[in-house]
Amino acid sequence: MYTYLEDMKLEKIITDTLDQIGDDHFSTSSENPIRADAFEMPDEEKINVIKNHVKAILETLGMDLTDDSLKGTPLRVAKMYVNEVFGGLHPDKKPKASTFDNSYKYGEMLVEKNITLYSTCEHHLLPIIGKAHVAYVSNGTVVGLSKMNRIVEYYASRPQVQERLTLQIVKELQKVLGTKNVACVVDAKHLCVNSRGIKDVASSTVTSEFGGIFRLEDKKREFLDYIQLDTKF
């Protein structure tokens, strides 16, 4: 049988391991870890539950929630979590990516660059802010440009790690377009690195995923050259 000290040592090892995973921004899953019953509770009920938890957190920190500036904060935060920053968790909010026949027979690379990206680090619940660059080569089907932005927004609007987000964007566009010829590069700043811990305000994180012909060195190089263009209007 384990002694009390052995139990405490085991608990410390587990805690240290989980802290290390968070500090290293490491993901143990290629899909978001969502429970099977995640969407049984209506959004309005979720907002009410989260509101009470936020209120308890602020009160525990010693904040006076009778102050005019703070009294509405728990509800505002709860609405923001459910409807906005974590809205991409709900499958009903997945964008309908309408596709069209490539009737003009455009056979070259299409690149949508500098897509503004806001997400949230799932380890510290702090913002991830950056740009996504997405490209594909049609095999007979094209998708509206705004839908590429919406796919990025949908998968970013949830607790995330950047590597998973990059993969999800590529996989979704591959599914929509019916081709492996999709690539994505994400360049983002993590406030969990910039504003806490090591507090490195200068660094950013770059992730990439290349599918189909983008694995060929010349196509990869062409895509990377395009996103380096200094576009001015």
Residues identified as active-site = 121-124, 162, 190, 192
H or E stretch including 113?
strand 109-121
Q: Distance (Å, rounded) from C-alpha 92 to C-alpha 78? A: 19
Considering just the CA atoms, what is the radius of gyration of the chain in Å? Answer: 21
- What is d(CA 126, CA 155) in angstroms, rounded to the nearest whole number? 16
3-state class (DSSP) for residue 83 = helix
Q: What distance in Å separates the CA atoms of residue 69 and residue 204, rounded to the nearest whole number?
A: 33
Between CA 45 and CA 32 the distance in angstroms is 22
Pairing of strands 205-210, 182-190: antiparallel
* Max CA pair span of the chain: 73
Quick one: which of 159, 215, 200, 219 has its CA closest to 27?
Answer: 159
For strands 182-190 and 141-143, give the pairing.
Answer: unpaired
